[in-house]
Amino acid sequence: MVVVVAASLGAPVWAAGSTSSLSPGAHWVYLSWQGRQRSAYVEVPSGSLPHPLVLVYHGATDDAMTGVTRTNLPTLVQRGAVVAFLQGYQNSWSDGLLDNPASKARVDDVGFTKALISYLEARVPVNHSRIIAVGFSNGALMAQYLGCRLASTLSAIVPAEGPMPVSVAATCHPARPISVVSIEGTADTVFPYNGGHFSSIYGGGAEMKGAPQTAAFWASIDHCASRPVTKGSGSVYTTRYLRCRSGATVSLRTNVGGVHVWPPSMAQIVASVVF
């Protein structure tokens, strides 16, 4: 059962279960899911045409507003996208590993995502072929997990500084090809660029694929051409797999010397798969 309360900033709170449309502007949306109150900060553009929907997942110990204040993702609203900044359980996501509060509490964040999408689709004209999951760190692992579990709904994932866990890859069977744009820094000390052991701030850990191996994994899943094309020089270069099934694309954006932070050009990168 999903019970919803939506609160426009500066406007009255709607009744639970209301089916009123969401007006242009910023809203806090609250859902009761698995007996817990879950929330998301949603920015809605003007216009009646179907809007792309961008779902944003923060890093561990951060919150929904981190994506609002530390990225330029809110600018996507000006281009016509609905942007939803989801709030994790105790500031964490159940991403397929077992090392954080959400995972240990057996939170169903895939179900929470589906519930939020359904809520928004009922109240905002959403382009069903343009629903994208974006995440950083723990949120990037959540985006990877959603790519495996929710490909029937999502059109693309954009994980930043969070590659594919080996254990998650072993059970990853997407319902259809899904586009992937990974963003990784070569100087990330949390998730080593070339893979290896990840030590969680919560005391756990896991073996991770490297950034190039993660891109190759998704290219295999999407049945892309075997040889990637790499372009760029200096501080940024992109490795892209072409001729994937169903029009999907897989690319890895490598920031040479990049560390474990939200990339400064997230909106531009996400726009490449949204519009």
The two structure tokens encoding residue 240: 């892209």
Q: Check residue 19 and give its pLDDT.
A: 60
Q: Span 2-15, mean pLDDT? A: 40
pLDDT at 248 over 70: yes
Tally of domains within the chain: 1
pLDDT at 175 over 70: yes
> pTM of the entire structure?
0.93
pLDDT at 101 over 70: yes
Q: Span 149-165, mean pLDDT? A: 98
pLDDT at 268 over 80: yes
Q: pLDDT tens for residues 67-95? A: 999 999 999 999 999 999 999 999 999 99
Q: Check residue 5 and give its pLDDT.
A: 47
DSSP symbols for 183-224: EEETT-SSS-TT-EEEE-TTS-EEEE--HHHHHHHHHHHTT-
Q: Check residue 2 and give its pLDDT.
A: 43
The two structure tokens encoding residue 112: 């929470």
Of residues 1 and 261, the one with the higher pLDDT is 261
Q: Check residue 226 and give its pLDDT.
A: 81
For the domain that residue 183 is a member of, what is the CATH number?
Answer: 3.40.50.1820
The length of the chain is: 275
Least confident interval from 16-20, 175-179, 237-241: 16-20
Residue 172, domain extent: 3-274
The number of beta carbons lying within 10 Å of the beta carbon of residue 36 is 12
Share of the chain above pLDDT 90, in %: 87
